[in-house]
């Protein structure tokens, strides 16, 4: 049995999880629940868990900060095609013990993108993490109280801040016209999640946009409208030299990484307590650490290059070290 992907439903943490051999786009309907067909015993046995409640009226979303954000994102013609679980300020967390997951694998939470009323993560990122025996939990955007409730349970052993749209310029004093489809709701969620996770000592992997979120969380700034970094193809790959005395170099035992980068924003002013450990030839900061903290932040996508496997291996080391006291891990 390999590691498992679980998508958490909006507003209730009734995991819509399924055993996946090779996940496709790994989409979760963010609590937007169409009528669900009744499931037979075999489906439930395999981990096909859905909400027993058909959903609540859309009016239930009004008056809640997160709920209002959802309503704004759903096209009017779609609103009546879906029913929602009731959204409240406090998350009711259903323990994952009822789902057939590998209990000897750590749990990591991946932050998603919000597209066309769905939450999702890129399947190659999910596949890469699953291959390292890391159970994946995809979460909807949450407020501070919901994040506290989630982290209070102590079943998570790591956080992944995934790629996506630009960071809202309002967060770093940039120009509005410089950002491509910013999502302030996601920005605030990820910044808050990172800060709270850091207080608990959870290992963090931040990819592309995720690196930028880390920088903003530490008081740094970004530059936009970059034109020099090409789409991630082998012919456009560039070599990064890993700086000495970095935690990444200590754990990976490598001096160089060959990567490809595709992004619209990059670090301009490095945030407080952040350390640049690798830079592109044009000076773009490509990798960042925090002193004495298990964090890897990359401007490139490690799932899109052969050398990126080294990044996942180092993150796995960090996560398994964190999880060692709470899991019966395979030797």
Residues serving a catalytic function are 208, 301, 303
| Per-residue tokens: 196 | 């709270």
**DSSP reduced 3-state for 241:** strand
CA proximity to 66, closest of 42, 48, 85: 85
**Helices and strands of the chain, counted as H and E runs:** 9, 16
Q: Give the three-state DSSP class for 206.
A: strand
Which residue in this structure is represented by tokens 């298990």? 294
At residue 253's C-alpha, the angle toward residues 250 and 256, to 5°, is 110
Q: How far apart are CA 73 and CA 57, in angstroms?
A: 17
Residue 251, both tokens: 């754990």
At a CB cut-off of 8 Å and minimum separation 6, what does 80 contact? 58
The DSSP string of 1-24 is ----EEEPPTTT-----B--SS-S
């Amino acid at each position: 049995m390999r590691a498992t992907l679980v998508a958490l439903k909006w507003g209730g943490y009734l995991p819509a999880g399924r055993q996946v051999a090779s996940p496709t786009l790994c989409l979760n309907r963010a609590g937007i629940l169409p009528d669900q067909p009744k499931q037979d015993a075999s489906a439930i046995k395999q981990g096909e868990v859905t909400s027993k409640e058909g959903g609540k009226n859309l009016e239930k979303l009004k008056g809640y900060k997160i709920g209002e954000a959802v309503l704004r994102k759903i096209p009017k013609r779609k609103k009546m095609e879906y029913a929602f679980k009731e959204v409240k300020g406090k998350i009711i967390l259903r323990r994952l013990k009822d789902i057939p997951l590998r209990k000897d694998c750590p749990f990591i939470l991946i932050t998603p993108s919000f597209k066309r009323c769905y939450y999702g993560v890129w399947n190659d990122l999910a596949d890469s993490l699953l291959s390292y025996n890391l159970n994946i939990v995809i979460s909807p955007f949450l407020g501070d109280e919901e994040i506290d409730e989630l982290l209070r349970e102590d079943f998570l052993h790591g956080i992944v801040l995934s790629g996506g749209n630009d960071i809202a310029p309002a967060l770093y004093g940039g120009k509005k016209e410089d950002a491509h489809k910013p999502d302030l709701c996601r920005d605030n969620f990820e910044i808050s999640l990172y800060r709270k996770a850091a207080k608990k000592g959870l290992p963090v992997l931040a990819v592309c946009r995720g690196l930028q979120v880390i920088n903003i969380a530490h008081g740094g700034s970004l530059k936009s409208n970059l034109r020099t970094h090409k789409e991630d193809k082998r012919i456009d790959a560039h070599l990064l030299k890993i700086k000495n005395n970095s935690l990444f170099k200590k754990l990976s035992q490598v001096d160089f990484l060959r990567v490809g980068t595709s992004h619209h924003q990059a670090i301009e002013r490095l945030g407080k307590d952040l350390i640049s450990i690798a830079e592109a030839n044009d000076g773009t900061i490509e990798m960042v650490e925090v002193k004495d903290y298990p964090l890897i932040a990359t401007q490139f996508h490690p799932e899109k290059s052969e050398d990126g496997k080294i990044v996942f291996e180092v993150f796995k080391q960090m996560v398994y070290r964190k999880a060692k006291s709470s899991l019966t891990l395979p030797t």
